[in-house]
Amino acid sequence: MIEKELVIVGAGPAGLCAARIAAEAGCRVLLIDRSPLLGGQLIKQTHKFFGSEQQRAKTRGFRIAEALVADLKPFGDTVEIWQEATVVGAYPDSVLTVWTNGEYRKIHFQSLILAVGAGERSLAFENNDLPGVYGAGAVQTLMNVYGVLPGKEVVMIGSGNIGLIVCYQLIQAGAVVKALVEAAPKIGGYKVHASKLRRLGVPILTRTTVVRALGDSAVKGVVLSGLDENWNPIPGTESEIACDAVCVAVGLSPLYQLAWMLGAEIPYVGELGGMVPLLDENRQTTVSGVFAAGDASGVEEASSAMVGGRLAGLHAARFLGHLHPDHTAIDTECRAQLSSLRGGPFGAKIRAGLKKAEVKVHAR
């Protein structure tokens, strides 16, 4: 059994920021990620980020990842990093099982931060298991990390920011986006992204869905259908589009499984993306010493993942008896940044989700 003080699972923006602040406070940190690259989703984001200036908006996502990784360098061995290491088990006696270098390793932790992010949702339609049907994150990884174009003619499903941005990146990489289909009556993402696609001639079809993918061994096209106000297909509105790839961008769901294995309370909060661990105001789950941050505790954005990661790192350190010299100032600043990031009409859904979770926490 390997003994560790603070273990952080996930080296995306939340985990990297948590590691830095905890190390500053004096913790010895083990940061674990299953990927060969550090930065989580940021490594495949080639666009300049929107969001808050304080969270490096206007910088390309993969550059933000590089900067967050560089921030850990001064801490040397205080922050130990295991890459290509997957946490496959978490047990209530504060033990993790990690699969790495062809073997299982057991770690006993004093405190744990879960910063594992979110997983892509799929969509039920006939033949959705044909080669050529991808999640939007997979398409981004193929194109922007490995330089592989997933298809020449693509139909995108979902008009949230991810769907809109990935359409644009597909076009930049040389693909033709034959259509972007959206079941809702209006687009879900920022108008600025949708306008860019319209200017490039991409048809945006609202109240429309894919009912079937065509092809025997690979995608050759899709059948679309119009939807009524109850989201049921309207008979007689079916049409076909030829394509060799279908990209599904219908949202993300928090990866809650490790928290669940540890025995944390995990309600369904739709506004936060699905099953999420209940958190107290310091980001601690209902299991003492186990904290959560970033998309794993509710799907938001990299900016809020970074700030939430700082808060989790700060409070995990305090739990371990390492009070950061600037604890109060950092705590106050993080809370102010989070309420600003979640302000305005775009933050309304998140605020509603957090309120539900808060009520439940206080009612315990």
Ligand X SMILES: Cc1cc2nc3c(=O)[nH]c(=O)nc-3n(C[C@H](O)[C@H](O)[C@H](O)COP(=O)(O)OP(=O)(O)OC[C@H]3O[C@@H](n4cnc5c(N)ncnc54)[C@H](O)[C@@H]3O)c2cc1C
Q: Looking at 174-182, 272-280, 297-305, 323-331, which segment touches ligand X (CB under 6 A)?
A: 297-305
**3-state SS string for the chain:** CEEEEEEEECCCHHHHHHHHHHHHHCCCEEEECCCCCCCHHHHHCCCECCCCHHHCCCCEHHHHHHHHHHCCHHHHHHEEEECCEEEEEEECCCEEEEEECCEEEEEEEEEEEECCCEEECCCCCECCCCCCEEEHHHHHHHHHHCCCCCCCEEEEECCCHHHHHHHHHHHHCCCEEEEEECCCCCCCCCHHHHHHHHHCCCCEECCEEEEEEECCCCCCEEEEEEECCCCCECCCCCEEEECCEEEECCCEEECCHHHHHCCCCCCEEHHHCEECCCCCCCCECCCCCEEECHHHHCCCCHHHHHHHHHHHHHHHHHHCCCCCCCHHHHHHHHHHHHHHHCCCHHHHHHHHHHHHHHHHHHHC
Subset of residues 155 to 194 that bind ligand X, contact rule: CB under 6 A: 162, 165-166
Is position 89 an interface residue for ligand X (rule: CB under 6 A)?
no
Among 4, 5, 8, 13, binds ligand X (CB under 6 A): 13
CB of 230 to ligand X, least distance (A): 29
Distance CA 269, CA 18 (A): 24
Q: Does 31 bind ligand X (CB under 6 A)?
A: no
- For position 87 contacting ligand X by CB under 6 A, the verdict is yes
Q: How many Å apart are CA 104 and CA 12, to the nearest integer? A: 23
The stretch near ligand X (CB under 6 A) out of 110-118, 192-200, 208-216, 267-275 is 110-118
Q: Which two tokens stand for residue 272?
A: 């936060």
Residue 35 in the binding site for ligand X (CB under 6 A): yes
Site for ligand X (CB under 6 A): how many residues? 37
Residue number, 10 or 151, with CB nearest to ligand X: 10
Q: By CB under 6 A, tell whether 255 contacts ligand X.
A: yes
Is the CB of 190 or the CB of 220 nearer to ligand X? 190
205 binds ligand X (CB under 6 A): no
Tokens 């991810």 sit on residue = 162
Contact between 11 and ligand X (CB under 6 A)? Answer: yes
Q: Does 15 bind ligand X (CB under 6 A)?
A: yes
Whichever of 36 and 235 has its CB closer to ligand X, that residue is 36
Q: Which of 40, 132, 298, 353 binds ligand X (CB under 6 A)?
A: 40
**Residue 141, interface with ligand X (CB under 6 A)?**
no
Contact 226, 183 (CB under 8 A): no
Q: List the one residue from 305, 311, 330, 354 that touches ligand X (CB under 6 A).
A: 305
Q: Which of 6, 8, 14, 79 binds ligand X (CB under 6 A)?
A: 14
For ligand X, the closer of residues 208 and 257 by Cβ is 257
Minimum separation from the CB atom of position 47 to ligand X (A)? 6
Residue from the set 5, 24, 244, 301 that interacts with ligand X by CB under 6 A: 301
- Interaction between residue 49 and ligand X (CB under 6 A): yes
Task: Find the shortest distance in angstroms from Cβ 33 to ligand X.
Answer: 4
What does the binding site for ligand X look like in residue numbers (CB under 6 A)?
Answer: 9-15, 32-35, 40-42, 45, 49-51, 86-87, 115-117, 137, 140, 162, 165-166, 255, 294-296, 300-303, 305
